[in-house]
């Protein structure tokens, strides 16, 4: 069931990625016309970039006032007061019903404990006059948060009331640390840590929260929130979007945009029409003139948009990559940079959450995210 939840999440993300169309706009990057190219131009180590900041919403810092309600998987202890031997355990089934004593299946899905007790007492009075019941919640199985990654005790934790991000991470033992005689070293990558809610990134800056004690980043969690803290030693780049094989590529010294997309650290032919019918890396609708490189913190990422087609033809410099870079190939041009970056980040975290969630739920099938493909020309 957990695996199905994450697969459906990724499917929803795929459909949401179809909305970045519009007229072609000027791309960022310094381009030089070359009369003769004997080989690839030198890689540019500092392409022009724009920083996009997501502001913290005040509502994220307010606790939810709703009382705990029952759902499938919750386990109760029920007892008729004054009747020895009536105590019994009862679980809320997948249909939201519990079965106790002489009662038929009682639907308690969405009820508070008080409402559930009143319902059971009313129905039990048909068999026992003035029946009074005691209901005790013994185990929560319907509401939980995911706390995965470089934590001391990663896992899926129940949530029964108000819970802040710091409190949730404390349950998971906090970020992992390596203690030696000479140093104490953080194993968590705070820049790429994230909280995902309903498929969307929440603007939590883990670095500000942990390193600077900024409590304005200590949001209140809600059921089904997904918190992920990656390893600080993950030397990888991410290539996805309108590519035939979205992938996580190990970062190699001197890695460039072309080598990452082509799947090889070696050279490629610069006259290659990569999106053509020759088995190239792109899907037919890949929009090569708006390839994005997202770098740095997920909450304040720096984004560079380059004309990959010009790079392939030797008319623009290749881009030197850094570990943690996210490369996204769209299937249509963008018109609003912030929406474009949000699309990329949310697609990225959705992919990570799906893979980590399936793994935590006992699955072994990875999930890739590619941009939806429609009609259009094969190269731009």
Same domain (yes/no): 199, 254: no
What distance in Å separates the CA atoms of residue 96 and residue 119, rounded to the nearest whole number?
14
Same domain (yes/no): 253, 348: yes
What distance in Å separates the CA atoms of residue 74 and residue 91, rounded to the nearest whole number?
6
CATH of the domain at 198: 3.10.560.10
Q: Which pLDDT value is given to residue 44?
A: 60
Give the dihedral of Cα atoms 146, 150, 152, 158; nearest 10 deg: 0
Same domain (yes/no): 217, 334: no
Residues of the chain with pLDDT under 70: 1-49, 53-54, 177-186, 264-280, 362-380
Extract the tokens encoding 77: 């202890």
**pLDDT tens digits along 113-169:** 999 999 999 999 999 988 999 999 999 999 999 999 988 899 999 998 889 999 999
In this structure, the number of other CB atoms found within 10 A of the CB of residue 37 comes to 12
CATH of the domain at 102: 3.30.1950.10
Burial of 58 (0-12, 13-18, 19+ CB in 10 A): exposed
Boundaries of domain holding 198 = 58-65+142-229
Q: Domain for residue 219, yes or no?
A: yes
Domain count, the chain: 3
Q: What is the pTM of this model?
A: 0.72
Q: Which pLDDT value is given to residue 273?
A: 39
**HSE toward the beta carbon, residue 190, CA cutoff 13 A:** 17
Same domain (yes/no): 133, 249: no
Q: Domain for residue 321, yes or no?
A: yes
| Strand 291-295 relative to strand 184-186, pairing | unpaired
Q: Which pLDDT value is given to residue 285?
A: 82
Helix %, strand %, coil % of the chain (to 5) = 25, 25, 55
Q: Domain for residue 367, yes or no?
A: no
The answer to whether residues 174 and 227 touch, using CB atoms and an 8 Å cutoff, is no
The answer to whether residues 306 and 28 touch, using CB atoms and an 8 Å cutoff, is yes
Q: Domain for residue 100, yes or no?
A: yes
In this structure, the number of other CB atoms found within 10 A of the CB of residue 213 comes to 9
- Rounded to 5°, angle at Cα 273 from 271 and 275: 155
């Amino acid at each position: 069931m957990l695996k199905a939840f994450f697969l459906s999440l990724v499917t929803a993300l795929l459909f949401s990625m179809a909305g970045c169309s519009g007229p072609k706009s000027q791309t960022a990057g310094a381009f030089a016309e070359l009369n003769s190219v004997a080989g690839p131009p030198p890689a540019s180590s500092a392409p022009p970039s724009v920083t996009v900041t997501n502001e913290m919403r005040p509502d994220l810092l307010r606790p939810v006032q709703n009382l705990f309600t029952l759902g499938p998987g919750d386990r109760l202890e029920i007892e008729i007061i004054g009747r020895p031997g009536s105590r019994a355990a009862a679980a809320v089934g997948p249909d939201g019903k519990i079965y106790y004593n002489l009662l038929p299946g009682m639907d308690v899905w969405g009820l508070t404990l008080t409402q559930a007790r009143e319902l059971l007492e009313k129905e039990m009075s048909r068999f026992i006059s003035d029946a009074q019941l005691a209901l005790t919640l013994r185990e929560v199985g319907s509401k939980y948060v995911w706390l995965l990654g470089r934590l001391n005790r990663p896992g899926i934790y129940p949530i029964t009331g108000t819970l802040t991000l710091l409190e949730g991470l404390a349950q998971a033992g906090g970020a992992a640390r390596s203690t030696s005689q000479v140093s104490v070293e953080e194993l968590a990558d705070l820049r790429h840590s994230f909280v995902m809610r309903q498929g969307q990134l929440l603007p939590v800056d883990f670095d500000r929260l942990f390193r600077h004690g900024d409590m304005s980043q200590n949001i209140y969690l809600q059921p089904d929130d997904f918190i992920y803290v990656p390893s600080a030693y993950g030397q990888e780049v991410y290539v996805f979007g309108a590519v035939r094989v979205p992938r996580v590529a190990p970062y190699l010294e001197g890695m460039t945009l072309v080598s990452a997309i082509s799947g090889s650290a070696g050279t490629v032919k610069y006259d290659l029409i990569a999106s053509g019918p020759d088995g190239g890396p792109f899907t037919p609708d890949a929009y090569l003139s708006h390839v994005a490189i997202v770098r740095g913190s997920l909450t304040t990422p720096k984004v560079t948009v380059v004309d990959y087609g010009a790079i392939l033809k030797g008319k623009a410099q290749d881009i030197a990559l850094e570990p943690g870079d996210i490369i996204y190939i769209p299937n249509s041009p963008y018109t609003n940079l912030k929406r474009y970056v949000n699309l990329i980040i949310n697609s990225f975290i959705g992919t990570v959450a799906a893979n980590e969630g399936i793994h935590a739920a006992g699955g072994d099938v990875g999930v890739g995210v590619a941009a939806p493909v429609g009609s259009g020309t094969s190269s731009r």
